[in-house]
Amino acid sequence: MRILNSIIIASLVTCFVACSSKSENFSSSDKAYEGVGGGGMELDATTVDLTPPPAEKSVAEEQKNITEQKLIKNGDISFEVKNIKDTKTFLQKVISKHKGYISNEKIEDYRVNPTEILTVRVPNSNFDHIINDIGLQVGEFDSKRIDIEDVTAEFVDIEARLKNKKQLEGKYQELLAKANNMTDILKIEKEISLIREDIESTEGRLRYLSNQVGYSTLIITYYEKRATAGFHFGGKMADALSEGGMGFLWFLIGMTQLWPMWLIGGLIWYVIYKIVKRRKNQKLQQKTIQ
């Protein structure tokens, strides 16, 4: 009987210890669970997006997306032609086709090797097309140069500064409307005047850039080589007469520019003449007395 009681007591103690350790395990797991999930909600790894968020776009990228690229294109081409008049007619048609215009025209050495230089303004979008059309007709250029300048950053900067200056002008206009004494009114009007000058200057620069971006400049030089065989007496005489006449005119201009020297020389000559004449008269008088 005593042995049976001992066995029962030992069994109860073992059950108690096992239950205690089990409850401790449950409590420790609960704490860990609360620290991870928070609030007792279980996290499922399959529903959590572990990829990093996309990086924010830089200011330069946003500016590039928002602002159209502003390019200034300038170039010049030169080539030889068989007939300079026919080429001029062809170029006028090509320029008109691409909605351009001739802003300057120059003729050089017309008798020997006639050369014409055209300064053409053409819309930026047609710049490459007009060069291609001329190249198809000419075949080969003696020289070709194209410069491209990116003014996007300057364009954006000017627009931003212009916007800020106009906002500042608006604030001063509000202050001017609220001003009560003449001193404040004069001060505010002076500030508005200075801001207005800056705005007009900035707008002028913006218009210039817009014009340069909108229209490209192309300088076209074309020439016709003419055979010069032998000595052309008539042409040489005509050149000599022309150059001699110009030389004589330049001589007259140079002599005219020396009029102060002529005046001083004339005065000196007059004084010397009077002195010499007086001495001659004195000698004559002495001879007469003797």
Query: What pLDDT does residue 147 have?
Result: 93
What is the domain partition of the chain in residue ranges? 67-227
Q: Given pLDDT bands bounded at 50, 70 and 90, which one contains residue 245?
A: confident
What mean pLDDT comes out for the span 232-236?
Answer: 60
Answer whether 100's CB lies under 8 Å from 92's CB.
Answer: no
What mean pLDDT comes out for the span 137-152?
Answer: 91
Higher pLDDT, 62 or 177: 177
Query: What pLDDT does residue 22 have?
Result: 42
DSSP string computed for 113-167: S-EEEEEEEEEGGGHHHHHHHHHHHH---SEEEEEEEE-HHHHHHHHHHHHHHHH
Distance CA 239, CA 245 (A): 10
Higher pLDDT, 283 or 198: 198
Of 58, 67, 65, the closest CA to residue 160 belongs to 67
Answer whether 172's CB lies under 8 Å from 192's CB.
Answer: yes
Q: Given pLDDT bands bounded at 50, 70 and 90, which one contains residue 233?
A: low
Higher pLDDT, 63 or 128: 128
Query: What pLDDT does residue 146 have?
Result: 93
Which residues have C-beta within 8 Å of that of residue 176, sequence separation ≥ 6? 185, 188, 189, 192
Answer whether 184's CB lies under 8 Å from 93's CB.
Answer: no
Query: What ranges make up the beta strands (E) of 33-96?
Result: 71-80
- Residue 10 token pair: 């030992």
* pLDDT of residue 231 exceeding 60: no
DSSP string computed for 13-45: HHHHHHHHHHHHHHHHHHHHHHHHHSTTPPP-G
* pLDDT of residue 2 exceeding 50: no
- In order of 71, 206, 218, the CA distances from 215 in angstroms are 10, 14, 10
Q: Where on the phi/psi map is residue 76: left (φ > 0), alpha (ψ -120 to 50), or beta? A: beta
Query: What pLDDT does residue 118 have?
Result: 95
DSSP string computed for 259-277: HHHHHHHHHHHHHHHHHHH
For residue 102, which phi and psi values (nearest 5 degrees)? -90, 115
Place of tokens 């140069």: 145
- Residue 93 token pair: 């048609």
Distance CA 89, CA 118 (A): 12
Question: 104 - beta bridge partners?
Answer: 119
* pLDDT of residue 13 exceeding 50: no
pTM exceeding 0.85: no
Q: Given pLDDT bands bounded at 50, 70 and 90, which one contains residue 91?
A: very high
Higher pLDDT, 75 or 278: 75
Give pLDDT tens digits for 20-53: 444 444 343 343 333 333 333 333 333 333 333 4
Give pLDDT tens digits for 116-144: 999 999 999 999 999 999 999 988 899 99
Distance CA 220, CA 118 (A): 5
Give pLDDT tens digits for 182-217: 998 999 999 999 999 999 999 999 999 898 889 999
